[in-house]
Structure formats: structure tokens, C-alpha cells
Amino acid sequence: MAIAHQFGYLKPSTLRETVKTLARYGTRARVLAGGTDLISLIAENVIAPDVVVDIKGMPGLDRIEFKNGVLTIGALVTFSDLRDSPVIAKKFPVIREMTGWLASVGIRNRATMVGNLCSAVPCCDSGPVLQVYDAAVLVAGPAGRHRVPLGDWFVGPRQTVLKRGEIATGVAVPLPRRKHAACFVKLRRYEGEDLAQASVTVLALAGSRYRVSFGAVAPRPVRGTKIEALLDGRPLSETLLRQAVALLPEEIAPITDIRATKEYRMQMVGVMLERGLRAAAARLAGNGPAYGTSLI
């Protein structure tokens, strides 16, 4: 729809310029990368920035690099880039798996993973997946550069820890040293493009260690630390899986909204957790379903 609100448009060509601009305008500025979230927020009068700062002119942010065991995804890397990346397909296949159920091609060609993290919507898909890798968001600001572990990144719905003048320049994802496999399960209302009603990500590491995270069932992505502790070092069994599922009410707090009831979310996360654990373990053992196969 025609945007009635008028705003300025800036396209800095260096990180320094970007940080200065953001520091200057504070909350009156909004960062524009893919725009798939920002533009409709402005068009629907949810936000009214004075200035939009297009970061697509900054060099070096569109790279996917794997060096010294760490995957660095720049702020301008789109979900399509992630989908097409050989290193991600090989070393972080669950990231690729996640992108397959995110929106559709036309959106993925523009939407960025870092943008998805910055939107901080409770149903965000990137957050829970990166969380099992103990990833960290790379931030640049007036005080210099620093990293924010993903567990600290989300403050609440549409709120991150970014301070005035700061911008996320990328995300660093360490490759676990042990042999591992993972699984991303997303509950949607149908097979077409949909926001997550709930999501479960499982990372299975050699030695029966697990990292589990949940999306869209709390104000932000959460790690299931109690479940992880329960499973640690123990081979999966029917009993253990039941016990893990029984811990869910202590880990997540789903709500009833227009997309699902809390009862359905709770019930389904249990099913997804069980199937996700089995699939991740099977993949680790070399006989699991191919990445991209839906478990639900």
C-alpha cells in the first residue's frame, strides 16, 4: 500500500558511517537490509521512523565464511544464500533444513538471517536453530565491536539487547568439535509458507549429549536445559523420551493466540521433541531421515 509516512533514506558505504548515523538518530532510525519485515511495518503504520538506513551498501557483509571451526554469516546474507551455500549444506545442514520451511523463494531471496534475529519475533526460526550451536551475534557500535551469545540476545518480543548506535554485523556459529547431527522441526498450519506455531531444534552430539531449543512457545527462543541435563550421557529409550517430554511444562510457556492454542502447542512440542530426538540420534548414527524431510 502506498506509504503515507515520509522518511529520509540513507545508504552509508562504511560501517563507521552506519554506526555514526545510528548513534545520531537512535530509535528514530531503522536499519533496512532485506526489508521483508521492515517495509510492511512502516506501510501498516506500526512504526514511523524518521530515517531508514540501508546497509546494503556496506562491503563485506554478504559473506559466508568457515574458518578455524567457526561459521561467520554476514548481516547481508540472505536465506537463499544460506540455502545455496556448499559449506552450510556440508557442515551445518540443519541451517539449510530450517531455510526450506521459511517463507518462500521470493522472500528468501531478500530476507536475511541476521535481520530475522534482529526482528526478535517470538516465532523467529533462526533463533532456536542458532541457539543449539551456542552461536553469538557480532555487534559493532560506538564503543567498538563485541559479541552477544544468542542466549542473551533476545530480551522479549521484538526486543534485542542492541543499544543506541549498535548494529548486528553478523553471526558466528562454532562447529561442535564432537561428531554431531541435528534436526529442526517446525509446526505450521499447512504445507505452504507459514510462521511457526511452534518449533523444536535438536542437536545430538556423540556421547549421547543433546542440545534442545524451542521456538514460538515463549517470548523468545529457549534452550531446554532441564531436558538436556536429563538426557546427558544416556542412550535414548522410550522411558527417557517420556521423561523428557514430561519436563516440557517446566521449559516452555506457550500461549493461546490466533495461530494455535496453548494446549495444541504443548501437545505438539512433545511429539516434535520425541521425533526430533529420535531423528537427530539416527542421523548421528548414519541412518536417519535426509535433512529436509518433515517429521510431522
Partner 1 sequence: MTPLKFVGTSPRRIDGLEKVTGAATYVDDIPFGPNLLHAEIVESPFAHALIERIDTSAAKKIPGVVCVVTGKEFPYRFGLYMQDRFIFPTDRVRFVGEQVAAVIARDPQTAKRAAKLVKVVYRELEPVLDLEQALRVNAVLVHPDLGNYTRCPWFFPQAGTNIAHRRKTRKGDVEKGFREADAIFEDTYTVPRYAHCAIEPHVIVGLYDLSGRLTLWSASQSPYTQRNVFAQTLAPLGLTHKDIRVVTPYVGGGFGGKAGVSMEIIGAALAIMVKGQPVKVRWSRAQEFYNTYQRQGVIARIKLGAKKDGTITAIEHTLHWDAGGYVEYGANVVNAVGLSATGPYRIPNVKIDSVCVYTNLPPGGPYRGFGYSEFHFGLESHMTGFAQKLGIDPVEFRRRNAIREGDTLAYGAEMNPNGLREAIDRVAAEIGWGKKEVSPDPRKAIGKGFACFWKAPAMPPNAASAAFMKFNEDGSLNVSVSGMEIGQGYLTVMAQIAAEILTVPVEKIRIESPDTDRNAYEWQTVGSHVTWGCGNAVQAAALDVRGKMFAVVERALGFARDTLYLEDEKVKCRARPDFALPLRDFVISGIQTPHGNFIGGPILGSGVFMPEFTSALSDPETSQGGHPNVHYTVGAAAVKLEIDKQTGKMRVLKATLAVDAGKAIHPELVRGQIVGGMVQGLATALYEDIRYDLKGKLLNANFTDYKIPTAMDTPLEIVPIIVEVAQPDGPFGARGIAEHTMIPAAAIVANAVEDAVGLRLKTLPITAEKVALALAGIAYDDVKGAYMGLCFAGKPETYAFCTNAARRSR
Partner 2 sequence: MKTTVTVALNGETRRVDVAPNEILLDVLREKLGVTSPKIGCERGDCGACTVLLDGKTVRSCLILAIEADGHEITTVEGLSRDGLTPLQQSLLEHNSFQCGFCAPGMVLSATALLARQPSPSEEEAKEAIAGNLCRCTGYQPIVAAIVAAGQKARQRA
Partner whose footprint covers residue 296, from partner 1, partner 2, none (CB < 5 to 8 Å by kind): partner 1
Among 13, 14, 27, 40, binds partner 2 (CB under 8 A): 40
Partner whose footprint covers residue 9, from partner 2, partner 1, none (CB < 5 to 8 Å by kind): partner 2
- Asked if residue 193 binds partner 2 (CB under 8 A), the reply is yes
Handedness of CA 151, 156, 160, 161 (dihedral sign): negative
Strand partners, 138: 147, 170
Strand partners, 210: 204
Partner whose footprint covers residue 46, from partner 1, partner 2, none (CB < 5 to 8 Å by kind): none
User: In the block, which residue shows the cell 517495509?
Assistant: 39
Site for partner 2 in 140-179 (CB under 8 A): none
Q: Report how far residue 201's alpha carbon sits from residue 223's, in angstroms, rounded to the nearest whole number.
A: 9
Count of all residues that appear for the chain in the document: 296
Partner whose footprint covers residue 109, from partner 1, partner 2, none (CB < 5 to 8 Å by kind): partner 2
Hey, is 83 helix, strand or coil? helix
- Asked if residue 54 binds partner 2 (CB under 8 A), the reply is yes
Partner whose footprint covers residue 106, from partner 1, partner 2, none (CB < 5 to 8 Å by kind): partner 2
Stretch of residues binding partner 1 (CB under 8 A), selected from 47-55, 80-88, 170-178, 250-258: 250-258
| Contact in structure between 12 and 21 (CB atoms under 8 Å) | yes
| Contact in structure between 127 and 221 (CB atoms under 8 Å) | yes
Report the DSSP pairing between strands 51-54 and 29-32: parallel
Q: Report how far residue 217's alpha carbon sits from residue 227's, in angstroms, rounded to the nearest whole number.
A: 16
Q: How far is the CB of 79 from partner 1 (least distance, A)?
A: 17
**Number of helices and strands (H, E) in the chain?**
13, 14
Nearer Cβ to partner 1, position 121 or 218? Answer: 121
- Name the site residues for partner 2 (rule: CB under 8 A): 1-9, 32, 35-36, 39-40, 42-44, 52, 54, 56, 80, 103-107, 109-110, 192-193
- Name the site residues for partner 1 (rule: CB under 8 A): 1-4, 104, 189-195, 256-264, 267-268, 271, 296
